[in-house]
Amino acid sequence: MDLPYTKNCFVCGVHNVHGLHLRFRREGELVLAEFTPAAHHAGFRDIVHGGIISTALDEAMFWAAACAGRRFCLAVELNVRFSRKVAVGKMFRLTARREADRGRIWESSAELTDAAGTVCARGTCKQMPIDGPAMRHAAVDFLPDPTTTAALALFPDLQG
């Protein structure tokens, strides 16, 4: 199932000229996306900035937690471990899952792998679910298309 995307989000926003333009999908308990960083995502020449990688991992973990818990959440702690350089212009895959529901805190994990399946970065995140009014406020920026409409049905607080 393809997941919603927005107008302006730095990660998924289709109108954000500086953004990553990632499109996430759910396959079972996993959230996936392909990521081909551009030259303007570099820190050092031809190497993607660690903040960009962290941002992509954070968004993947958001969707994994949100889909599993059927509500949006905010990161309260984010940890990233980099194990290989991430090259500009190469295709990478993000894979995330929610690991635990501890009530007020959820825990998620994600990996960024290269085309050969080698892990380049791993992230873990603790997240706090948000309430219905905050979810509805956040959802205003989602683009109204069949993909978004179908995926948002996963979230009871957005109905009605």
Supply the CATH number for residue 62's domain: 3.10.129.10
Has residue 110 been placed in a domain?
Answer: yes
What local confidence, expressed as pLDDT, does residue 154 receive? 87
Domain that holds residue 52: 25-146
Cα separation of 68 and 84, whole Å?
29
Overall number of domains in the chain: 1
pLDDT in tens, 18-29: 899 999 999 999
Has residue 118 been placed in a domain?
Answer: yes
Which residues, including other chains, have CB under 8 Å from residue 135's CB and lie 6 or more apart?
71, 72, 155, 157, 158
The runs of H, that is alpha helices, within the chain are 50-69, 132-139, 146-152
pLDDT at 160 over 80: no
pLDDT in tens, 36-85: 999 999 999 999 999 999 999 999 999 999 999 999 999 999 999 999 99
- 142 pLDDT band, cuts 50/70/90, is confident
What local confidence, expressed as pLDDT, does residue 147 receive? 75
What local confidence, expressed as pLDDT, does residue 148 receive? 76
Name the E strands within 23-105: 25-27, 30-35, 73-82, 92-101
Has residue 46 been placed in a domain?
Answer: yes
Has residue 44 been placed in a domain?
Answer: yes
Has residue 12 been placed in a domain?
Answer: no
Has residue 103 been placed in a domain?
Answer: yes
* Average pLDDT rounded to a whole number, residues 131-147: 87
What local confidence, expressed as pLDDT, does residue 68 receive? 96
* Average pLDDT rounded to a whole number, residues 136-146: 85
Q: What percent of the chain has pLDDT over 90?
A: 79
Q: Which residue has the higher pLDDT, 149 or 34?
A: 34
Half-sphere exposure at residue 98, Cβ-oriented, CA atoms within 13 angstroms? 25
pLDDT in tens, 99-130: 999 999 999 999 999 999 999 999 999 999 99
Q: What pTM, to 2 d.p., does this model score? A: 0.95
Has residue 16 been placed in a domain?
Answer: no
SS3 category, 135: helix
CB–CB of 78/102 below 8 Å? no
Exposed, middle or buried by CB within 10 Å (0-12, 13-18, 19+), for 137? exposed
The runs of H, that is alpha helices, within 33-142 are 50-69, 132-139
Which residues, including other chains, have CB under 8 Å from residue 102's CB and lie 6 or more apart?
none
Q: First-to-last CA distance in the chain? A: 22
CB–CB of 37/89 below 8 Å? yes
Has residue 151 been placed in a domain?
Answer: no
